[in-house]
Chain A
Amino acid sequence: MIKMNDVYKKYSNGVVAANGITIDIDRGEFVYVVGPSGAGKSTFIKMMYREESPTSGQIFIDGTDLGSLKNKQIPYLRRQIGVVFQDFKLLPKLSVYENVAFALEVIEETPAEIRKKVTDVLALVGLSQKARMFPNELSGGEQQRVSIARSIVNEPKLVIADEPTGNLDPDTSLGIMNIFEKINNRGTTIIMATHNKDIVNKIRHRVLLVEGGMITRDEYEGEYSYEG
């Protein structure tokens, strides 16, 4: 699903955020990306949805070479990837339903399709009863579920989550993890950058440790363990 080949990224300010990353992630995998702040986790996952481009090296997503993508094609890459953030990135003036529907409206889905998909996905994340509420009327965990619903409403093959539980308490975080497990069980590949030691150690998956722009550890059923 994801293949990186000696990927190197140097920002214009001189910071080297990826220093020769080579990795292979299969379809349907669930992968944690851990490591200290500033180690290159964000760059690593941002390169997957072409928010950042590598200075050198190749990245393939589902067989597509991102380096050969024209700017015009990037939107179509992103339609196959769902992204979830620590700060949810919801639109405060739209209701829960509208926030999720927004993702389909802007890619010009038909109203009938939108209605069906949004209803289904809200049921999946357990928010059917709160569809008409606004983000500021919801708890943090609920807001993150809206954000997850939005990321998967277009049925992407890959979901990328950057610290999705960073702002949530442990119980709520587990609830969120349950949803990611459900999505993963449907065959969707999940990449999750996280600092949440409890979760990584409790819900075992492949763990990539990123340090100094390099993957220094890659373990299946791995543990969250590094100094710092």
Chain B
Amino acid sequence: MKARTLGRHFRESFKSLGRNGWMTFASISAVAVTLLLVGSFIVMMMNLNKMADNIENDVEIKVVADAAASDAAVKELQEKVESIDGVASVEYASREEELDKVIKQYGKELALYKQSNPLGDALYVKAADPHNTAEIAKEIDTYEYTAEVVYGAGKVEKLFNVVKISRNVGLILILALLFTAMFLISNTIRLTIIARGREIEIMKLVGATNSFVRIPFILEGIWLGILGSIIPITAISIAYQQIYAYWQPKLVNEMFQLLKPMPFILQVDGLLLFMGVFIGVWGSLMSVRKFLKV
């Protein structure tokens, strides 16, 4: 396409933004509200996902060996566990170390037990894929010197369910909002087309190509999308950095970490801009197609 023609298309698309003032405003607002919600949702989901990942990766199996087992038997048990498919690491903690942990947690009175330690040696097992945790735990439970197998059964699954449900509900909500925004944009463009009905009629009569007629409307849709995404992009970028600066120092537990603002926020911004443009183009194509049949 020639530069002159492109310039003309740009001028035309800007002109009709001004000409349809209120509808332009309504469309931009719709896009802005939609993207603001979509953006907040994405930020929340991404952080929830990350937390779920952290928690999941933190799941370990505590294997308590029989208190009566000899050191060699425990060693044998450890080797057996290490050889299970899907086990990433096994850490050994002696019964003395275990008792120290308990004392530290529950109080010095328990130091009495140092005389006759009722605890067994312990193995801390991590699965390469956390989803296999339950299976591995079951397997270890069958071994001879295993006294007890402990892992956070059920808790992880619950967390994942919550994330999954909120993700689905959010997706439906987002789709509905996106559709509304597209609908508003397509109505705005329709007004433009009606306002320029005679012009389009003449264009087609004297042999303007369809794309020549169409491009200004598509550009107009793109502007609506871009203008609509400015507010959500700004709002989310600022808000997230504030939230991060405020909360992150308080979240000492390493499971509950927020994603670092950079480059996360830039990715979200890029996605929002892309969605804005996409809604705009799609909305304008919907109305243009109907009106510009040959």
- A residues with CB within 8 A of B: 49, 71-72, 74-79, 83, 89, 91, 102-103, 105-108, 111, 150, 154
Bound together, the chains give a CA A154 to CA B198 distance in angstroms of 20
Residue from B2, B4, B198, B207 within 8 A of A78 (CB atoms): B207
Give the residue name and chain of the B residue nearest to A70 (CB): B294
B217 to chain A, nearest CB (A): 14
A91 vs B201: C-alpha distance when bound (angstroms): 11
Which B residues touch A91, using CB under 8 A?
198-199, 202
Q: Can you report 21 A-B residue pairs in the complex whose CB atoms are below 8 A from each other? A: A71-B294, A72-B209, A75-B208, A75-B209, A76-B207, A77-B207, A78-B205, A78-B207, A83-B205, A91-B198, A103-B202, A105-B8, A106-B203, A106-B207, A106-B208, A106-B212, A107-B206, A107-B208, A108-B2, A108-B212, A154-B206
Enumerate the 5 nearest inter-chain pairs by beta-carbon distance, A residue then B residue, closest first: A79-B207, A78-B207, A106-B208, A103-B206, A75-B207
Q: Which residues of A contact B206 (CB under 8 A)?
A: 78-79, 102-103, 106-107, 150, 154
Q: Does B210 contact A (CB under 8 A)?
A: yes
Q: How far is the CB of A96 from chain B (nearest CB, A)?
A: 15
> Per DSSP, are chain A's interface residues mostly helix, strand or loop, or mixed?
helix
CA distance A13 to B260 in the complex (A): 65
Which B residues are CB-close (under 8 A) to A108? 2, 4-5, 212
User: By the criterion CB–CB under 8 Å, are B202 and A102 in contact?
Assistant: yes
CA distance A150 to B2 in the complex (A): 23
- B204 sits at the interface (CB 8 A): yes
| A-facing residues in B159-211 (Cβ within 8 Å) | 198-199, 201-210
Enumerate B267-294 residues with CB–CB distance to A below 8 Å: 294
Query: What's the Cα separation between A171 and B203 when bound, in Å?
Result: 31
CB-based nearest B residue for A77: B207
**Which A residues are CB-close (under 8 A) to B212?**
106, 108
A89 x B208 contact (CB < 8 A): no
Chain A residue at minimum C-beta to C-beta distance from B205: A83
Question: Number of residues in B with C-beta < 8 Å to the partner?
Answer: 18
Taking the nearest CB of chain A, how far is it from the CB of B198, in angstroms? 6
Closest residue to B294 on the A side, CB-wise? A71
Given A89-B201, A107-B207, A108-B5: 19 more A-B contacts, CB < 8 Å? A49-B205, A71-B210, A71-B294, A75-B207, A76-B207, A78-B204, A78-B207, A79-B207, A83-B205, A89-B202, A89-B205, A91-B198, A91-B199, A102-B202, A106-B208, A107-B206, A107-B208, A154-B206, A154-B207
- Which A residues touch B198, using CB under 8 A? 89, 91
Whole-angstrom distance between the Cβ of B194 and the nearest chain A Cβ: 15
Once bound together, how far apart are the Cα atoms of A106 and B206, in whole Å? 8
Question: How many whole Å from B24's CB to the nearest CB in chain A?
Answer: 20
- CA of A136 to CA of B294 in the docked complex: distance in angstroms? 30
Quote the shortest CB–CB distance from A174 to chain B (angstroms): 26
Tell me which residues across on chain A come within 8 A of B203, comparing CB atoms.
106
Q: Scan residues 1-21 of chain B and give those whose CB is less than 8 A from a CB of chain A.
A: 2, 4-5, 8
CB contacts (< 8 Å) of B201 on chain A: these are 89
Q: How far is the CA of A77 from the CA of B203 in the complex (A)?
A: 13
Query: What are the residues of chain B within 8 A of A107 when measuring CB–CB?
Result: 206-208
Closest to B196 in A: A91
CB distance from B204 to the nearest CB of A (A): 7
In the complex, residue of chain B having the shortest beta-carbon distance to the beta carbon of A107: B207
Q: How far is the CA of A76 from the CA of B209 in the complex (A)?
A: 8
Q: In the complex, what residues of B have CB within 8 A of residue A103's CB? A: 202, 206
* Most chain A beta-carbon neighbours within 10 Å: one of B8, B199, B208: B208
Question: Distance in Å from the Cβ of A197 to the closest Cβ of chain B?
Answer: 28
Residues of chain B contacted by A106 (CB below 8 angstroms): 203, 206-208, 212
Q: What is the bound-complex CA distance between A105 and B7, given in angstroms? A: 12
The distance in angstroms between the C-alpha atoms of A91 and B5, with both chains bound, is 20
Among A75, A107, A111, find the residue whose CB has the most chain B CB atoms closer than 10 A: A75
Give the distance to chain A from B242, nearest Cβ to Cβ, in Å: 49
Q: Which of B2, B199, B294 contacts A74 (CB 8 A)?
A: B294
Q: Which residue on B lies nearest to A106, using beta carbons?
A: B208
User: Who on chain B is nearest to A108 by CB?
Assistant: B5
A72 to B208 CA separation, bound complex (whole angstroms): 11
A83 to B204, CA, bound (A): 11
Determine how close the nearest CB of chain B comes to the CB of A67; give it in whole angstroms: 14
A72 touches B5 (CB 8 A): no
Complex CA distance for A106 and B202, rounded to whole angstroms? 10
Q: How far is the CB of B192 from chain A (nearest CB, A)?
A: 15
